[in-house]
Structures are given as C-alpha cells and as structure tokens.
Structure 1
Amino acid sequence: MGVVMIKCPETGRAIPTGMKADRERFSCSPVFFARTFCLICEASHEWFAREAWVHEPAEKRLRPRVTLALQPA
C-alpha cells in the first residue's frame, strides 16, 4: 500500500492526497475527479486520477542478526 500523490500546480512539489492505494489497483481504477487541500500553498487543488501516482515507501530492510559465539580461552 502506498499514498496517492499529486503535483501542486503552484509549487510543482509532490503532495499527498490523503488516499491510500495499491499501485497496481490504482492504475486499473476508473478515471475519477477529486479535490485535495494543499498545505504548501494553502489552496484546494482539483485533479483527475490520471494525473496522480502511488508512492510506496521502500520496504524497511531487516539487518541480519549478528550472533556472538563465545570462544573457549
């Protein structure tokens, strides 16, 4: 799951829409129209689904556990 993002038309920066979606399912969803309030320019932006994308953060990499072995003296 990721966050649906759009580009702020005033600043050009990526902003979250408040929606969560799976990238594959979102790309297959029907075209829809929505509005999102932008905290950067403090305005409401209207957008179509084809203008948005899903940002999925990289999975947290698990560090391998290090096992300390006691060596006889």
Structure 2
Amino acid sequence: MGVVMIKCPETGRAIPTGMEADRERFRCSPVFFARTFCLICKASHEWFAREAWVHEPSERRLKPKATLSLQSA
C-alpha cells in the first residue's frame, strides 16, 4: 500500500491526498475527480485520478555499512 500523491499546481511539489491505495489497483481504477487541501499553499486543489500516482515506500532497507577497525601494529 502507498499514498496517493498529486502535484501542487502552485509550487510544483508532490503532496499527499490523504488516500491510500495499491499501485496496480489504483492504476486500473475508474477515472474519478477529487479535491485535496494543500498544506503548502493553503488552497484546495481539484484533480483527476489520471493526474495522480501512488508513492509506495521502498521495501528494501539498506544494510549498515561495514565499519573499518584500525589496529595499531
């Protein structure tokens, strides 16, 4: 699951819509119209589903880097 995102038309920044969805299911969903209040520019933005995308956090976690230990000779 991920967060449905849109682009703020005022700032160009990605903003969350408050909706959660699976990327594939969202891509196959019927086109719909919605409104989202933008905390960046403090305005309500109207958008269609085709303008939105699902941001899913990466499932991969980076392994900690190996630490080098210096030994005195």
What TM-score bracket applies, with the shorter chain setting the length?
0.7 to 0.9
How far, CA to CA, are the matches of 1:43 and 1:33 in structure 2? 17
Match of 2:18?
A: 18
Letter in 2 for 1:37: F
Under a length normalisation based on structure 1, what TM-score does the superposition of the two structures give? 0.82
Corresponding position of 1:58 = 58
Instruction: Report how many aligned residue pairs link the two structures.
Output: 63
1:61 Cα offset (Å): 2.1
**Residue in 1 aligned with 2:71?**
none
Runs of 5+ in structure 1 lacking a partner?
A: 64-73
RMSD: 1.1
TM-score (normalizing by structure 2): 0.82
> 1:69: which partner in 2?
none
Identity %: 90
Other-structure match for 1:45: 45
Aligned to 1:5: 5
- Taking the aligned partners of 2:38 and 2:45, their CA distance within structure 1 comes to 7
Aligned mates of 1:55, 1:44 — CA distance in 2: 21
Unaligned runs of 5+ in 2: 64-73
Q: Given residue 40 of structure 2, which amino acid in structure 1 is its aligned partner?
A: I
Larger Rg: 1
Runs of 4+ aligned residues of structure 1 deviating over 6 Å after TM superposition are: none
